[in-house]
Amino acid sequence: MSISLIGEITPTPSAELKTVPADRVSYVLIGEDADGQRLDNFLFRIAKGVPKGHVYRVIRAGEVRVSKKRAKAETKLMLGDVVRIPPMRVAQKPAGTPPAAPLAQGNVRAEHCGIPRRPLRGRRCDMVSVLSPFGGFLQLLVDIGGTDGE
């Protein structure tokens, strides 16, 4: 089944569409795989990584259309509908974000961070200050075992 909308634009069948192109408008022909599905859930499925708020915003703004008409998020898609999807970009993580791998591996010691060891509450603990990925500092107490009397 081939439906031609405007000149040479031919919609892609929904079963073949894996992701939404970030550089152009795309038209999707709803097949049996998306028949009866809500519009917002259909967009979440094919636009992985796009924030939900952005998906709802483009629906409310009328940029997403079902069979050339504005549609609400709760619109049920039917077999043969053509959905116009605007370009949507997935946010990329900055390349310079430091990983928190030493904490995840559990082998952080104060000496590794350049912080002298101090005994706390009668136990031998290390106090470690770590820069979190969100830009703040975390202070952690790492128990190294034993007591001060050892």
pLDDT tens, position by position, 31-72: 999 999 999 999 999 988 899 999 999 999 999 999 999 999
pLDDT tens, position by position, 115-141: 555 554 555 556 666 666 776 666 666
Global confidence as pTM: 0.57
b/e map 46-76, b = 16+ CB within 10 Å = bbeebeeeebeebbeeeebbbeeeebeeebe
Strand ordering across the sheet containing 137-147: 118-120, 123-131, 137-147
At residue 13, what are phi and psi to the nearest 5 degrees?
-65, 140
How far apart are the C-alpha atoms of 117 and 21, rounded to whole Å? Answer: 53
How far apart are the C-alpha atoms of 11 and 9, rounded to whole Å? Answer: 7
Which residue carries 């509450």 as its tokens? 121
Q: Are 66 and 38 in contact (CB under 8 A)?
A: no
Q: What is the DSSP letter of 37?
A: -
Q: What is the DSSP letter of 61?
A: T
